[in-house]
Amino acid sequence: LERVDSEHIGGGKKGKKVIRVAPNSPIAALMKIGHSKKSQTFVPEVVEGIEFVYCDCPGFRDNRGAEINVGNAVNIKTTVSYARSTKVLVLLNYDSLRADRGRGLRELADILVSLFGSAENLLKHRGSIALGISRVPKMDEGGDDPIELERVRADHFAELADLPPGCREVVQALAPTIFIFSPYDNGNDSWLTRDQ
């Protein structure tokens, strides 16, 4: 990983530092990783590793249009249908948890229900899903308290009265799978390290 000025990777604000996979990293050799706001993946890329086969899927809610989203969904479902077993890693931006009274959680539930075919099927296979929360600040907005995993669960995955019942059940089922990590291994006590 390397820290670079965001304007060098797709027109971000000058002086804002971001973390990205270094071009000469073994991870970069495995799969192409985009560093701009434009998605780099359309067809799921399948790469055989030492212990696992990895499938880098396009993001849901792709910013390239509705027809791309339909194509992404078809491609992902087709790819996953050929796997003997699957572990799904979903990354959700911390800011989307805080936006518009749970909109990010509603969209997450909708996407996963669509991917698994039904809420019942998703709940049946919830042990195969891990939900990583990305871009979590180390401290709260006042700078007084560190943001820990249990606080994220309590603040965003416990009080779900604003969510529709089916969505609420899905989000509650995913709450135990949540993790936070720092790519620089300088997270708070409950955050995972890179190796973990």
Contact 121, 80 (CB under 8 A): no
pLDDT band at 139 (very low <50, low <70, confident <90, very high): very high
Q: Could you read off the pLDDT of 32-84 as tens digits, one per residue?
A: 555 455 555 556 778 888 888 887 776 665 556 667 767 777 777 777 777 78
The per-residue pLDDT of the chain, averaged, comes to 76
Residues 80, 61: Cα–Cα separation, whole Å: 19
What pLDDT is stored for residue 22 in this prediction?
58
The residue with greater pLDDT, 164 or 1, is: 164
Residues 26, 98: Cα–Cα separation, whole Å: 34
Residues 98, 42: Cα–Cα separation, whole Å: 28
What pLDDT is stored for residue 1 in this prediction?
42
For 157-166, what is the mean pLDDT? 78
What pLDDT is stored for residue 11 in this prediction?
45
Residue type, 126: R
Beta strands at 88-93 and 45-48: parallel, antiparallel or unpaired: unpaired
What pLDDT is stored for residue 62 in this prediction?
57
Residues 101, 79: Cα–Cα separation, whole Å: 34
What pLDDT is stored for residue 138 in this prediction?
93
Q: Could you read off the pLDDT of 176-196 as tens digits, one per residue?
A: 999 998 878 889 999 998 888
What pLDDT is stored for residue 180 in this prediction?
94
Q: Could you read off the pLDDT of 101-128 as tens digits, one per residue?
A: 667 888 888 888 877 888 898 899 888 8
For 156-164, what is the mean pLDDT? 79
Contact 86, 127 (CB under 8 A): no
Q: Could you read off the pLDDT of 2-45 as tens digits, one per residue?
A: 444 444 444 444 555 554 545 565 545 444 555 455 555 556 77
Query: What are the backbone angles phi and psi of residue 145, rounded to the nearest 5°?
Result: -125, 140
What pLDDT is stored for residue 24 in this prediction?
61
pTM above 0.85, yes or no: no
Cβ neighbours for 43, distance < 8 A, ≥ 6 positions apart: 58, 75
